[in-house]
Structure formats: C-alpha cells, structure tokens
Structure 1
C-alpha cells in the first residue's frame, strides 16, 4: 500500500488547486473578491468539494485562497496520506471537477451546467502531467511542505460555514413548556428539520454522480438496517458492475435498496448513512432538492 511505503510516521504535504470557470458570466476570482456574499459561496463550493473528494472532514485543511489570475488558487495542507491519496484518485477520475460543477451550479443558482478548468500543483510540479503515477504525486505533495499557517480569513469562513451548518444554538425552552414533537413525516439532520420522503430517481442519479469510491461505505452503512445489503452483497455488486464503473455500481446499490425496502426507502435513511461516512456535502446536495417541512406540531 502507498501509505506503508511512504512511512507510518506523521505525514504532511501541500498542494495548490487552481480553478477557472469556463462558464460565460461566471468568474470565480471576481466572485471570491466579493465580500458581501460571493466569497462565502465560493469557499463553500470548495469546502464541499474537498469533503466529497477527500473522504470527509478530516485529514486536510485549507490554508489560503488567493488570486492567481485568471485562476483562483486554493492551497491545501494534507495531514493524512489516506486523505491525500483519495483526493488524488478523485482528481484523476474527474470526480473533483464533477463535484465542483455540481456544488457551484446549485449554490450559485446557475441556469446552465457549470464548467470549470482545474490544475493541480505541488511546489513547481504540475501533477496533472503525472496522475497515472500516484506514488510520485504523493511524494511531490509530501515534499512541498506548507510555508504558512492558515489565513485568518479562512478561519472566519470556516467559522461562518460551521454556524450555517449547525444553525443557531439551542434556545432555552420557556418554563414548564416541552419541545413540540416532530411530525411523523419529518426528521432532524444537523439540528434542522426536514420533510422525509421516498427516494426518487433524481436522488439516485445525484448520489451516483457524486459518491465515487465511497459508494461501498455508504452501502455497508445502509446494510445495517437493510437485509438485501448485508453480508457479501456489496462486494458482489462491485464485482458484477466493475466494468460499468463507479456510477453504475452506486446506481445499482441504491436501486437494490429501493427495491428491497419499498416505501421504507426514505431520504432520512440515506442521509444517516452519508453522515456516518462523513459525506456531508453530498447529503446537503440531496437536502437542497427536498421541499421545506410543514410547520412544527402539524401532521
């Protein structure tokens, strides 16, 4: 394994992801310079993409987002070789561009598909030229140690993102007043209430487009409560649809879940599995397609 050959001690490295919009009327660099709202939206797009492509919230941090005209440069420090390796695999397969396009199109409310050009560098090495040599790319990133601590601006954006995700802190209930129970058709996710519903074809497509290699982990999480996905079912799916690729494997996973569970194949169950696998970016994408919940206390 690559992580064994690179050593078991503390592992860090640094890479810079360069982004340039190819969509007319959308300039990521200009948007990021807009302190009113553009900066935060662009940062959220980048953060959600990293969550999707590096396998969760841990193992890396954004140090700086800077002007590299005509590109927007994103300096990332990797603290775990596994997160770096997963990011490189996602980048090589095109999943990073796909995730960027999906999140930017959704958060910027674009009428057409968002297209983006990317470049990945470690120090003076352009990693796009050697993506077929994973260990070489890992070595370049490992040798390109970060030269700075995280910018204060990034700290503020991370704080803002966390506040938005968690919502306002819990308010004390009035004396002798209990919290109203959730309606039977609703569920809580990250302290917010959403209306539950059966999974749709659009959900299956969105999941299959974005989940990448993590589909197996999600499948095993779903398998804790779905008999059809227990035992060797996940490995059998991987083998059966190996030639068709990751999209088809993920598509067949959810299709089998829906077929086995029927009306019980609910959005809330998929979101719990995604949360278990730290795929919060994908969970947010699915939630954005959900209708708002009914008023609290009504069924």
Structure 2
C-alpha cells in the first residue's frame, strides 16, 4: 500500500551535507568565514547541488554553518524526484566529483580536489544506508526543516543571481541559468509559478477564515523575518483580542505584518510560512490551487 506522506505533490524534506577539503592548501571552513571567499565557496556548493539534483527547482539552501572541521550545508528538498536524484548522485560519488570540478575552477586549485563528505537527515547518518535509496529518502522526508532560510543565504543568492544576470558575467555551464528565468515579480510553489504581489484585504480575510488556532504558529514563523511579530508580540495579540475570537486574532496578526513590512509583505512570504508550518492545504488555498481528489 502506498505511503501517502511520500506523495511528491506536497513532498518536502531536509538533509545536512558536511564537506571537508583534504587538500592542505584549501580549508573550506576558513575560506567560507572569509568575507571575500564566502561567495565563491557558496557558488561552488550551489553549482554542485544543481548538478546533482537535476536543476535549481527541487531544493533550497537554508544555512551554511561551522561544523569544525567540516562545513555544514543544510538543504531543504521540495521535490521527491530531485531528492532521489541527489541521493543517487551522492551514493555514486558524483556529488564529490561535481564539487571537485567546480572548486578547482572557481577556487583556483591546481589539481583535482579530494573532498570528504558526510550526509545526515535528523539523527540518521545516510552514509550507512546508501544502498537503500528509498530508506534514505524516507529519513530525509521525516526530517522537516525547522527554520527559514538565513538572511546571509538570501544575500548570497541575490549576489549570485546578479552575477548570472550581469552583462559581463560568464554564464555557468549548468542548469543554474534556470534560476534567472523566473521574473522578479513571481515565485515558485509546488513546481508552479505564481505572480507575487502585496497581500490584499481579501487575502487577510481568506487567511483569517481558515487558519484557526494555527495563526500563532504562522505568526511566529513570519516573525523570524519581521520584527513586528517577534516575541512577545504574538502572545500580546492573543491576550488583547482573546474575547474577539480566533478570526480577529489571526486578522490582527496578518494586518500587523502588512503594516510593518509595507511593500515587502508579499504573498510569497505568507505561502512560504504556511508551507514551513506544514499547512500545505492552506497555502494552496491562498494561491487558489484546487484540492487534489
């Protein structure tokens, strides 16, 4: 009997890849901590993931962190096929090969780079079960991301996109060019492109009608990138509008978000927050996707 939780239509999962250069002349962690080297190392990681996952649309880098002596890369997969392709590439050694090729070119390494890798999903070390891709896939799916993308990663992504779009920048010979084809006023959700726009009063009403008690969770998620909703703002809203019911509490929360963020209070941010809170059906409702039979 098929596992409905593995339905690729609403599939997400998270894994952390640990990287360490075995070349004595290249310390990835030190290079990433250097302001000038950070972008180049990030670009190598991005190109490697794009090659191994079959394109830019199936994954998102959430965080790159210090896991001394390794560099840890937290990746959110939003497509089961892309995740399976990445796992197969990792199992075959192709991920290390892609990384080595891009690092040698962009980091000016004179010879082929040897890199040590480890892959984890939650408490599971996937290197121990790579001969069972479906088991690895399940571990990744059960390891849901606990955070939004770091602001640092947002800046690096924007810098990378600017380089790709720049008239003097050489175009990478990978599928990363697909990222620049998405208009700035659009966003991608469930492999479909939607027009991004400022949230409207109709959006606030629709959200408030269906979110129920989950409004606090969504508010805290939005609060990770909106100062007006940071602690203790959510608890204060709940107390202030307790007598008015859940609709009003949700309404006031989203209204505060819009007032604080102005033109940055976009539909894409609300959809991402709902998705991160595992409220996929509600996110679909916000962009008028009809529920699947």
- Please confirm whether the aligned pair reaches a TM-score higher than 0.5, indicating the same fold: yes
Match of 2:133 in 1: 134
Partner of 1:38: 37
**Partner SS for 1:53:** helix
Partner of residue 97, structure 1? 96
Q: Which residue of 2 aligns with 1:10?
A: 10
For residues 161-200 of structure 1, the C-alpha deviation after alignment (integer angstroms, 9 at most, x for no partner) is 00011105xxxxxxxxxxxxxxxxxxxxxx8689xxxxxx
Of 5-14 and 101-110, more deviation after overlay is shown by 5-14
TM-score normalised over the length of structure 1: 0.56
Preserved CA contact (<8 Å) 2:164 2:177: no
Change (3 A) 1:61 1:279: closer
* Equivalent-residue separation in structure 1 for 2:94 and 2:9 (angstroms): 29
CA separation in 2, counterparts of 1:111 and 1:193?
21
Measured at CA, do residues 40 and 193 of structure 1 come closer, stay the same or move farther in structure 2, by a change above 3 Å?
A: closer
Q: Could you tell me how far 1:6 is from its partner in structure 2?
A: 2.4
Residue number in structure 1 paired with 2:151: 152
Which SS does the other structure have where 2:10 is aligned? coil
Aligned counterparts of 1:144 and 1:28: Cα–Cα separation in 2 = 26
Q: CA RMSD in A?
A: 2.4
Q: Deviations over 1:1-33 (max 9, x none)?
A: x99892244110000000000011100000000
**1:124 matches 2:112:** no
TM-score, normalised relative to structure 2: 0.57
Residue of structure 2 in register with 1:24 after alignment: 24
